[in-house]
C-alpha cells in the first residue's frame, strides 16, 4: 500500500531535501524517524529536491508499507502525531493518507509553486526567512521582465551547470512580484523547475530592478541558453516551495 505525507520544513539546518552521504537532509531525517516508529526500514520519495537552506511551506513525499496488518485510518492519525513528536521542531507533518498504489509524488505533480522573499530593510527577526536587499528596485520593470518568462519554455540559461537533466523545457504559468508586510515576494508556478532555476531568475530580475539592465535583456539571456549570461543566484534562505498540485483522483 502507498501513502502520501504532506509536510513543511524550515531549511536552515539542512543540506537540502535529498539524502546525502555526509550531510543532514530533510529526507534522511524523516526516514530515520519513520523507520524507528514502524520498526523496519522505510524509504520515502519526495515531490522534488530543494537546495541547502531552502524552505517548504508544502512538500509531499510517499512511502510503501506492506505490513500484514496494514495501516488503519486511526493509526495514520496516531502515526502523524507520533512522527511530529519524534521529529525536530523545524519539520512538521500535516497529514498522512493512503493513495492509489501507482500514485507518485514526483511524477504525478501537475505543477509546483515557489515564493522568494526579499526584505527591504534589515530586520533581525526575518534574517533567516528573507533575503535582505537594501537597494532601490523598480518593481514595475521587474514585473514586465517576469511576464516575458511566460513567452518561453526553454530555460537552460537558468539551470545549474553540469546537471543530468534530459530537457530544459518548463511551462511557466505565473511569474510576478508583490509587496507584502514590508517584503517583496516573487511568485512563480510551473509544471517543473530546473535545479537552481528560481534563484537564478530572481537574481536576473534584480539586475533589471536596479536598472543595471533593461527589461529587454531578459529576451537576450534566455536566447543565449548560457547560465553565465544570467544574473547571479540569490541566497537559498529566501526561497520557499509553497504549493504542489496533484490530480483530483490523488488529492481532493
User: pLDDT by residue (tens digit) across 130-185?
Assistant: 999 999 999 999 999 999 999 999 999 999 877 778 899 999 999 999 998 889 99
Give every CB contact of residue 128 below 8 A, 6+ residues apart in sequence: 10, 12, 237
Where do the domains of the chain lie, and which CATH numbers do they carry? 2-107 (3.30.70.580), 111-244 (3.30.70.660)
Catalytic residue, chosen from 51, 108, 128, 181, is 51
Which phi and psi angles does 172 have, rounded to 5°?
Answer: -85, 125
Residue 71 has pLDDT above 80, yes or no: no
What pLDDT is stored for residue 2 in this prediction? 94
64 is catalytic: no
Q: Which helix (H) or strand (E) holds 222?
A: helix 217-224
* Three-state DSSP state, 34: helix
pLDDT digits (tens, 9 = 90+) for 212-249: 999 999 999 999 999 999 999 999 999 999 999 999 99
What pLDDT is stored for residue 68 in this prediction? 67
Q: What is the mean pLDDT of the chain?
A: 94
* Three-state DSSP state, 216: coil
Residue 69 has pLDDT above 70, yes or no: no
Q: Are strands 91-99 and 111-119 parallel, antiparallel or unpaired?
A: unpaired
Question: Do 132 and 194 contact (CB within 8 A), yes or no?
Answer: no
Amino acid at each position: 500500500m502507498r501513502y502520501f505525507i504532506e509536510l513543511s520544513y524550515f531549511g536552515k539546518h539542512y543540506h537540502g531535501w535529498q539524502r546525502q552521504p555526509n550531510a543532514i537532509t530533510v529526507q534522511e531525517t524523516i526516514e530515520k524517524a519513520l523507520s524507528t516508529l514502524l520498526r523496519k526500514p522505510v524509504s520515502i520519495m519526495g515531490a522534488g529536491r530543494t537546495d541547502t537552506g531552502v524552505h517548504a511551506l508544502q512538500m509531499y513525499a510517499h512511502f510503501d508499507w506492506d505490513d500484514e496488518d496494514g495501516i488503519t485510518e486511526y493509526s495514520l492519525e496516531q502515526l502523524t502525531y507520533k512522527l511530529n513528536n519524534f521529529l525536530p521542531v523545524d519539520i512538521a507533518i500535516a497529514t498522512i493518507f493512503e493513495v492509489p498504489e501507482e500514485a507518485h509524488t514526483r511524477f504525478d505533480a501537475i505543477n509546483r509553486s515557489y515564493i522568494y522573499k526579499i526584505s527591504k530593510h534589515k530586520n533581525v527577526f526575518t534574517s533567516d526567512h528573507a533575503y535582505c536587499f537594501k537597494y532601490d528596485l523598480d518593481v514595475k520593470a521587474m514585473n514586465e521582465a517576469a511576464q516575458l518568462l511566460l513567452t518561453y519554455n526553454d530555460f537552460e540559461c537558468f539551470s545549474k551547470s553540469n546537471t543530468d537533466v534530459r530537457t530544459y523545457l518548463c511551462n511557466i504559468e505565473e511569474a510576478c512580484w508583490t509587496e507584502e508586510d514590508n517584503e517583496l515576494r516573487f511568485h512563480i508556478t510551473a509544471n517543473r523547475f530546473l535545479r537552481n532555476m528560481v534563484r537564478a531568475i530572481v537574481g536576473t530580475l534584480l539586475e533589471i530592478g536596479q536598472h543595471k539592465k533593461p527589461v529587454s535583456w531578459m529576451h537576450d539571456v534566455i536566447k543565449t541558453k548560457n547560465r553565465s549570461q544570467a544574473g547571479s543566484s540569490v541566497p537559498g534562505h529566501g526561497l520557499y516551495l509553497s504549493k504542489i498540485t496533484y490530480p483530483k483522483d490523488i488529492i481532493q
